[in-house]
């Protein structure tokens, strides 16, 4: 089996994919660059900003669209030194370590101004996952309807912290190493699921125990989100605000809680997807390619011994379908119940 591609190789592959897209005239209005190293992501954002605004591009694609920057013209040099007026870099504030709503609104105002020296106005959010909830909500309208000639580039090493409403509006490019990273809560629940599934193929009652474990975990997750975001809401800090303002804050809070819950729910479901992939790899005799946590390899191997590769593959497809259905108006508990009952364990 070939060695895992290096970060440099993955970065080159992602950059080449972006060049081909630009060469075909497919410039997105918003990009999300994902990876393990923020420096690599910043370098990729700088190169894209230079390419879009280079005065003497070295390579052009279809219809004369630039796909490579010279690196030496006035625009390229100023973008590299980060003092170009049409390329704005946004970073978390030093003390709070978050991108605040004030920073975000300032960027929105600047993006709505005409360019001064370049073809495109560009905003780079270095550490977009550090946007607080208010900043993310304030940013959504601009992300949905960006000013003409503008490009938004979000950089993230922790995309699971981004609102789903932001993730869904960006074209993603991965510069990551390929490893699967999960937080303790997700790993803990997947471990419970794996242990429940390990001894024998669960009967109907066993399936409902699995469902109960998931629904209980999601309920606790939503309760925690509600407590955290409510405590952070201006509703708690300004109880004497005007009724209209309080109504707006309440609407924002409700939307923020739902968006954060959907994001966290997606983390749990993606964690199970990764474990089911490990089960499938075990059925193929490819355990060395496991993408998830090593401590779940024993239950994965136990389940795999009961399955044919086709059944394990069908599990992946069924769970992917379950996750897609949750983005519709279908009732959550029913979708999860049907999805778990379809799994061959």
CATH number at residue 76: 3.40.50.300
Whether residue 301 sits in one domain with residue 252: yes
Average pLDDT over residues 87-111: 86
Whether residue 189 sits in one domain with residue 169: no
Whether residue 117 sits in one domain with residue 52: yes
Residues facing residue 154 across a β-bridge: 32, 125
Q: How confident is the model at residue 94 (pLDDT cuts 50, 70, 90)?
A: low
pLDDT on residue 180:
52
Q: How confident is the model at residue 11 (pLDDT cuts 50, 70, 90)?
A: low
Q: Which domain holds residue 248?
A: 184-342
Whether residue 159 sits in one domain with residue 235: no
Q: pTM (2 decimals)?
A: 0.53
pLDDT on residue 329:
76
Residue 34 reports pLDDT greater than 50: yes
Report the relative pairing of strands 121-126 and 87-90 from DSSP bridges: parallel
Select from 174, 208, 242 the last residue of a domain: 174
| Least confident segment among 72-76, 177-181, 191-195 | 177-181
Round the average pLDDT of the chain to a whole number and report it. Answer: 83
Whether residue 153 sits in one domain with residue 233: no
Residue 7 reports pLDDT greater than 70: no
Digit-coded pLDDT (tens) for 258-300: 878 887 888 888 888 888 888 888 888 765 555 555 667 788 8
Among 32, 271, 279, residue whose Cα is nearest residue 139: 32
Whether residue 148 sits in one domain with residue 83: yes
Percent pLDDT > 70 in the chain is: 88
In a domain, 2, yes or no: no
Whether residue 154 sits in one domain with residue 58: yes
Domain count, the chain: 2
Residue 333 reports pLDDT greater than 50: yes
3-class SS letters over the chain: CCCCCCHHHHHHHHHHHHHHHHHCCCCCCEEEEECCCHHHHHHHHHHHHHHHHCCCCCEECHHHCEEECCCCCHHHHHHHCCCCCCEEEECCCCCCCCECHHHHHHHHHHHCCCCCCCCCEEEEEECHHHECHHHHHHHHHHHHCCCCCEEEEEEECCHHHCCHHHHCCCEEEECCCCCCCCCHHHHHHHHHHHHHHCCCCCCHHHHHHHHHHHHHHHHHHHHHHHHHHHHHCHHHHCCCCCHHHHHHHHHHHHHHHHHHHHHHHHHHHHHHHHHHHHHHHHHCCCHHHCCCCHHHHHHHHHHHCCCCHHHHHHHHHHHHHHHHHCCCCCCHHHHHHHHHHHCCC
Select from 114, 141, 174 the last residue of a domain: 174
pLDDT on residue 73:
92
Compute the Cα dihedral for 171, 281, 317, 315 and give only its sign.
negative
In a domain, 70, yes or no: yes
pLDDT on residue 3:
37
Measured distance CA(222)–CA(225) in Å, rounded = 5
Whether residue 209 sits in one domain with residue 162: no
Q: How confident is the model at residue 249 (pLDDT cuts 50, 70, 90)?
A: confident
pLDDT on residue 6:
44
In a domain, 1, yes or no: no
Digit-coded pLDDT (tens) for 117-174: 888 999 999 989 888 888 888 898 888 888 888 999 999 988 878 887 888 888 888 7
Structure token digits, residue 325: 């259905």
pLDDT on residue 5:
42
Whether residue 83 sits in one domain with residue 189: no
Q: How confident is the model at residue 62 (pLDDT cuts 50, 70, 90)?
A: low
Average pLDDT over residues 317-329: 84
CATH number at residue 221: 1.20.272
**CB of 42 closer than 8 Å to CB of 126:** yes
Whether residue 202 sits in one domain with residue 153: no
Whether residue 271 sits in one domain with residue 126: no
Whether residue 72 sits in one domain with residue 221: no
pLDDT on residue 1:
29
**CB of 128 closer than 8 Å to CB of 154:** yes
């Amino acid at each position: 089996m070939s060695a895992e591609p290096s970060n440099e190789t993955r970065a080159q592959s992602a950059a080449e994919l972006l060049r081909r897209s630009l060469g075909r005239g497919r410039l997105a209005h918003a990009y999300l660059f994902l990876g393990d190293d923020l420096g690599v992501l910043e370098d990729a954002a700088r190169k894209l900003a230079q390419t879009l605004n280079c005065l003497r591009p070295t390579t052009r694609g279809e219809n004369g669209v630039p796909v490579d920057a010279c690196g030496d013209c006035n625009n390229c040099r100023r973008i590299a030194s980060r003092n170009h007026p049409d390329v704005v870099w946004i970073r978390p504030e030093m003390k709070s370590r978050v991108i605040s709503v004030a920073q975000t609104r300032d960027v929105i105002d600047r993006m709505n101004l005409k360019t001064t020296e370049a073809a495109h106005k560009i905003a780079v959010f270095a550490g977009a996952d550090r946007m607080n909830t208010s900043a993310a909500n304030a940013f959504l309208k601009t992300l949905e309807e960006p000013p003409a000639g503008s490009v938004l580039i979000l950089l993230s090493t922790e995309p699971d912290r981004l609102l789903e409403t932001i993730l869904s509006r960006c074209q993603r490019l991965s510069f990551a190493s390929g490893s699967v990273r999960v937080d303790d809560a997700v790993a803990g629940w997947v471990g419970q699921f794996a242990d429940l599934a390990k001894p024998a193929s669960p009967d109907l009652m066993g399936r409902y125990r699995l469902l109960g474990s998931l629904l209980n975990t999601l309920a606790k997750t939503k309760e925690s989100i509600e407590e955290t975001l409510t405590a952070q809401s201006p509703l708690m800090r300004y109880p004497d605000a005007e009724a209209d303002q309080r109504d707006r804050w309440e609407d924002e809070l409700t939307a923020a809680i739902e968006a954060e819950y959907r994001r966290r729910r997606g983390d749990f479901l993606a964690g199970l997807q990764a474990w089911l992939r490990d089960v499938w790899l075990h059925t193929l005799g490819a355990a060395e390619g496991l993408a998830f946590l090593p401590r779940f390899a024993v239950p994965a191997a136990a389940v795999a011994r009961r399955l044919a590769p086709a059944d394990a593959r069908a599990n992946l497809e069924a769970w992917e379908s379950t996750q897609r259905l949750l983005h519709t108006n279908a009732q959550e508990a029913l979708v999860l119940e049907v999805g778990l009952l379809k799994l061959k364990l």
